[in-house]
Structure 1
Amino acid sequence: MTELKINGMTCDACAVHVKQALESVPGVQSAEVSYAKGSARLAIAGGTSPEALIAAVAGLGYRAALADASDPLPKGGRLDRARDWVAGGDKASHDGGLHIAVIGSGGAAMAAALKAVERGARVTLIERGTIGGTCVNVGCVPSKIMIRAAHIAHLRRESPFDGGLQANAPVVLRERLLVQQQARVDALRYAKYESILDGNPAITRLAGEARFKDGHSLFVRLIEGREHVVSFDRCLIATGAGAAVPPIPGLRDTPYWTSTEALVSDTIPARLAVIGSSVVAVELAQAFARLGAKVTILARSTLFSREDPAIGETVTAAFRAEGIEVLDHAQASQVAHMDGEFVLNTNQGELRADRLLVATGRTPNTNSLNLEASGVTVDKQGAIEIDPGMRTSAPDIYASGDCTDQPQFVYVAAAAGTRAAINMTGGNAALDLTAMPAVAFTDPQVATVGLSEQAAHDAGIETDSRTLTLDNVPRALANFDTRGFIKLVIEEGSHRLIGVQAVAPEAGELIQTAALAIRARMTAQELAEQLFPYLTMVEGLKLAAQTFSKDVKQLSCCAG
């Protein structure tokens, strides 16, 4: 038997894909792949190329080496460069030109690395885990795939057209959905991260964990155990964030889920309890409910408590209509796991569940970086404090993404990474977040941009506002789904649009138009005068703008 060591698998579904890839290599008779052990055992014919085995695994975005090989990096290309560097010392910092070290490999890190190379720098990218960061591996991509599958299941079970279209409750084969989900994750990771790194000679990747030695060098403990020093002219910290776990007595002694474990579960629990009330909690709660779980949400305050109150009220009503139990102002005082079930003591009584999902926010991954040695300061939550140019408190060290005090969205991280690279290479770029759109992929979706009325008042801005319910939007009427609203907030006096909040089945598709209107400093009247295609949800923005001067109920269906 031939054995391979494999780095980068994140679940059993990954092992299935690796097995399929290996068994497609000529000469491989069978393969047994273990995600838990990070290995593969193969029965192969004589003369089978080890390089072909390693290449098959690399094609999926993972790293492989023969188990008895002293060097885990296969010869050739980018990985060969990495080996030569580690063996021969820190050549990258002595070859001439600006050398930038990037810690992390997610959206912020990749955007920064590519922009820095474009501007003439050489980059060393250091990643301790799977290339691609949270979004593609365990965040945005797998969650939206699961949410979409759950939405399809929901529509097959019930829809506004059941009077004329016979509903059929679907049989949910979660293990097959998971394989499909993970295959798309693997493909995107390879296409958008691994293959790009492979093809860029100005970027050298190191697999290992970095910590600061001082303000211009890093210790990197490589995967194989050796430690290497990387000197840099500039450094970007883009280490992301991990799930926050609240200090509930007994919780850490139980097999609770974070979003990471929930997304790779190959079963749907009969009963799921969810602690949390923001985006991740509500998205996954609804997805699991639509796939067959009986879901109870424990919200410390209310759903979306930091947003306009109407948002939480509307989503809560939609959830309860689907059979999801939402407990407002609920807190767990004790958690135990006994006889295969979770027992939660709460201020609203005892709750029992087969699985428990904890989704109470995310904590910046900064504890292991030895930031004290670099002079980089963090806030009370461990987030790196940066200015609009992504500069930290230490000269020549920048940061972007979820490890900072910026909003935790991958598109914010990528934009920040690009601007950080410009500044690290002599430019002067800033990130303006005044018109930052945000979307929660519940059904109906929640989308916001700019200021809510309360945020505007807190900033000393006098406002006026209008709320248009969806029973005034032709697209919603044609869909027989009028759940939700569109709210516009304008500045009193100038009538300039400063904020939009929407709860609608396609709110995420309309919010960018609102963001552009705010960016263009449009007034409500100017927005009302624009041409919008009829029977689109985004037409609701025009109708909402018209309500500042007209009664839209008295207008013809597509009145300008």
Structure 2
Amino acid sequence: MSDNNPHIAVIGSGGSAMAAALKATERGARVTLIERGTIGGTCVNIGCVPSKIMIRAAHIAHLRRESPYDEGLSAQEPAVNRPALLAQQQARVEELRESKYQSILSDNAAITVLKGEARFVDERTLTVALNNGGEQTVHFDRAFIGTGARPAEPPVPGLAETPYLTSTSALELAHIPERLIVIGASVVALELAQAFARLGSQVTVLARSRVLSQEDPAVGEAVEAAFRREGIEVLKQTQASEITHDGRLFTLQTNAGTLQAEQLLVASGRTPNTETLNLEAIGVETASGAVLVDDSLRTTVPSIYAAGDCTDQPQFVYVAAAGGSRAAINMTGGDVSLDLSAMPEVIFTDPQVATVGLSEADAEARGYTIDSRTLTLDNVPRALVNFDTGGFIKIVAERDSGRLLGVQSVAGEAGELIQTAVMALRADMTVNDIADELFPYLTMVEGLKLCAQTFTKDVKQLSCCAG
């Protein structure tokens, strides 16, 4: 073997695994890809793609029912045909799985696909229990773990004996329940809670502490306010102590009282899919099941790499794919690292949440002396003409230099504006640099410039497109 043409075993077929396999073959490697389930992993099959389709459909339903223009445009309660929406959703999932995963694997002669469950024998050998029977041994020069994660089951008495929904089964639900309780108040829980509410469910969200507890408190408060405006009940500091199901209704005993609903969605975290890999026996270290990797995506065993949701990295498919690609470079003789210092995060609620870099609390914890400004959307022309001014843009900067440290936004198009902040952060721009840049008028991203201008002036005293 030379470093440039090794045999690499890739376990998994999702975002990180596919990126690793394809990059490795580009660099001359021969790949054996092992998948025990459906090709494509979480994102295309049961995560990003179907959830965003459902969220978009729910958004359209919401606008038909209610919009800022109802004084001049007729509104009506939409008839929701959930089976038809589900069929449309799944057809697009199958289309993307075929075009972006299965056909690519079939067309790449350097990749051999094995359907089965992999288990490490040692740091150069795997056994694969084949789905169609039998076992196959795979000897490799390098291995990549990209097995992803699955919804976690919290240890609530009685929960395991009930037919509760996970994010996976909720996206496949063929009807919209009259009442839905959601346990969890982070990304997946909030996205699906709002989608179901907009499609017709009466929704109650149980937050163990507060909404989006890992974000700046203002972010969670803004999302909570938006939910309440739409009739979504949010119970903070609330936990279930017992859950039962009588064949018709779920009953939850909580510190806020007894709650009942037709369906219960549990979306309170994810568990890495690593327990069957025999990692401990070969010296690959984990923490709560998550594979520990360094900046080069190497595990504690030099010949084995990992990326994605099965590791201790942030659980975003673009992080997984970037990690898989960089791991492949390193497995084939390269030397690159994964820099997450300017990693954007987007939550597809309405309004959207988007962040990059450090919050005030993060920056202060790292020893920065900071200055920050928050611009409410009633100061952003695009939001004003949209008649949709709920939300804000916040910039955190180093006080003395003005260097950008982070941006948090809650806005209708926050996910679109945040990449500009990413590039500014990468370029070490200051708030003055951003304030002096040209931004197109009547775009939401112009709010980033306006927020930067508030460090030195009152933007309420500017004309509409004053530079």
TM-score category of the 2 structures, normalised to the smaller one: over 0.9
Secondary structure in structure 2 of the residue aligned to 1:252: helix
**Number of residue pairs matched by the alignment:** 466
Q: Does 1:394 align with 2:305?
A: no
Counterparts of 1:97 and 1:387, CA distance in 2: 23
C-alpha displacement at 1:151, in angstroms? Answer: 0.1
CA distance in 2, matches of 1:158, 1:185: 29
Could you tell me which of 206, 218, 223 is aligned with 2:131?
A: 223
1:215–1:373 Cα contact (<8 Å) kept = no
Deviation track 1:189-209 (CA, whole Å, cap 9, x = no partner) reads 000000000100000000000
Taking the aligned partners of 1:144 and 1:293, their CA distance within structure 2 comes to 18
Out of 183, 186, 190, the position equivalent to 1:278 is 186
1:367 equivalent to 2:275? Answer yes
> 22, 30, 49: which is aligned to 1:114?
22
Q: Distance in 1 between matches of 2:340 and 2:247?
A: 49
Q: Within 5 Å, which residues of 2 pair with 1:130-149?
A: 130-149=38-57
Q: CA deviation at 1:521?
A: 0.3
Alignment-derived partner of residue 432 in structure 1? 339
> Does the CA-based 8 Å contact 2:5-2:332 persist in structure 1?
no
Choose which of 56, 63, 72 in structure 2 pairs with 1:155: 63
Partner SS state of residue 367, structure 1: coil
Return the letter of the residue paired with 2:365.
D
Contact 1:391 1:398 in 2 (8 A): yes
Give the number of the structure whose alpha-carbon radius of gyration is greater: 1
* Greater relative CO (CA pairs within 8 A, separation 6+): 2
C-alpha distance in 2 between matches for 1:270 and 1:259: 18
2:151 paired residue number? 243
Q: CA–CA distance in 2 between the matches of 1:493 and 1:423?
A: 39
User: Residue in 2 aligned with 1:175?
Assistant: 83
Matches within 5 A, 1:63-462: 97-379=5-287, 381-462=288-369
Q: Per the alignment, in what secondary structure is the counterpart of residue 53 of structure 2?
A: helix
Deviations 1:450-487 (A, max 9, x none): 00000111111111000000000000000000010000
Deviations 1:523-548 (A, max 9, x none): 00000001010000000000000000
Report the AA paired with residue 518 of structure 1: L
Contact 1:532–1:542, Cα closer than 8 Å, also in 2? yes
Structure-1 separation of matches of 2:5 and 2:91 = 39
* Runs of 4+ with >2 A deviation: none
Check if 1:514 corresponds to 2:427: no
Give, in angstroms, the shift of residue 97 of structure 1: 4.0
- Higher mean C-alpha displacement, 408-417 vs 457-466: 457-466
Secondary structure of the corresponding residue to residue 242 of structure 2: strand
Aligned to 1:558, the other structure's residue is in SS state coil
**3-state SS of the aligned residue for 2:286?**
coil
Q: TM-score, normalised by structure 2?
A: 0.99
Q: Which of 461, 468, 475 matches 2:382?
A: 475
Distance apart, 1:492 and its partner CA: 1.6
Amino acid aligned to 1:410: V
Aligned to 1:67: none
State the distance in 2 between where 1:361 and 1:372 align: 23
- The CA deviation at 1:262 is 0.1
Which residue in the other structure is 1:30 paired with? none
RMSD: 1.1
CA distance in 2, matches of 1:155, 1:238: 39
| C-alpha distance in 1 between matches for 2:5 and 2:424 | 42
Q: For 1:171 and 1:343, how far apart are their aligned partners in 2?
A: 29
Q: Which residue is equivalent to 1:57?
A: none
Q: Distance in 2 between matches of 1:344 and 1:293?
A: 18
Deviation at 1:374, TM superposition (A): 2.2
Partner of 1:21: none
Q: Distance in 1 between matches of 2:274 and 2:133?
A: 21
Specify the SS of the correspondent of 2:91: helix
CA contact (8 A) 1:342 1:354 kept: yes
User: By how many angstroms is 1:373 displaced?
Assistant: 2.8
Q: Secondary structure at the match of 2:10?
A: strand
- Alpha-carbon distance in 2 for matches of 1:186, 1:205: 19
Task: State the Cα distance separating 1:339 from its structure 2 match.
Answer: 4.0
Alpha-carbon distance between aligned partners in 2 of 1:482 and 1:372, rounded to the nearest angstrom: 52
Segments of structure 1 that go 5 or more residues without pairing to the other structure are 1-92
